[in-house]
Amino acid sequence: MKIKIQALLLLLGIISFSCTDNDDTQPIEPQLIIKFKFDPTQARLNNIGEPSTVPAGNAAQSPIFNSISSHYIELAPSATTALGAGKVLYRAAETTVGGENAIDFSKAKIVGEGEAFLSIPLSQITAGSYEWVRCSLAYQNYNINILNSGVDYTGTLASFVGFNTYITTHSIGSASFPVNANKKQGYWALNVNEIPFSGQAPEGATTVPNPLFATSTIPAGSCVVTGKFAENLVITGNETNNIVMTLSLSINNSFEWTEVNADGKYEPNAGENVVDMGLRGLIPTFVK
């Protein structure tokens, strides 16, 4: 009987603890949630935010995106707001293990289209009216079409477009790429039919659209893509609901290479080299 009473008291204690624990649960405060969208039909822009075409001697394709990672996200009140002087929402982990300061790829947050990349309390964002978004991209993973010895393949490419990235060993499918070093903007690795390739795009060749080039510059070699809201994002400080922001990135012919065989098909074994993997524009939207 004594054992049964002790068991009953223990059960009542557990129930009491559970009820108390539930009663103490606090509601989550309203968040700013940021997601990515990949749009192959969005305007293809150049470095100053003007429409651009693929130059003669090159060819390009719109890749099928799997995932992406960002290094930096900022809200800017106006066209004259200097980079870093707006509200910085996110900055990825960095390291000097490889020598110069670099993005730490081992700590990168990588998401697919429509997944939440960032969720931060709206209370942490300075009240005000924001006209522009700046987003520095760091990593892209996508599928591309490849021609090799007359046979068409689909390959998966890892594209590192951040200013500088420290990479230990990264993988694409079953292909492993030991790096253990810093890689400047433009490093890429490719898995085609389980055969690994890697290379480096020319310095300064990565397109980074910045429509504010005349009033607010970005550092050379960065990947800070700039986009304008159709209407300003206004933060009052009294929000009661989440705000979901979507950063729509133009992938319109964003993978570009030099042609050796003028057939519009990427043939790495023919000596066709990657020259540009930059995103081709940013259109931010939000839903309150």
pLDDT given at position 25:
54
pLDDT given at position 280:
98
Annotate the chain with DSSP letters as a single string: -HHHHHHHHHHHHHHHHHHHHHHTPPPPPPEEEEEEEEETTS--B-TTS-B--PPTTEEEE--EEEEEEEEEEEEESSTTPPTTSSEEEEE--EE-TTSS-EEEGGG---B-TTSEEEEEEGGGSPSEEEEEEEEEEEEEEEEEEEEETTEEEEEEEEEE-SSEEEEEEEEETTEEEEEEEEEETTEEEEEETTEEEEEEPPTT-S----TTTTTS---TT--EEEEEEEEEEEE-S---S-EEEEEEEE-TT-EEEE-SSSSS-B-GGGTPPEEE-----EEEEEE-
pLDDT given at position 27:
62
pLDDT tens per residue across all 288 residues of the chain: 444 444 444 444 443 444 444 445 556 899 999 999 999 999 999 999 999 999 999 999 999 999 999 999 999 999 999 999 999 999 999 999 999 999 999 999 999 999 999 999 999 999 999 999 999 999 999 999 999 888 999 999 999 999 999 999 999 999 999 999 999 999 999 999 888 989 999 999 999 999 999 999 999 888 999 999 999 999 999 999 999 999 999 999 999 999 999 999 999 889 999 999 999 999 999 999
pLDDT given at position 55:
95
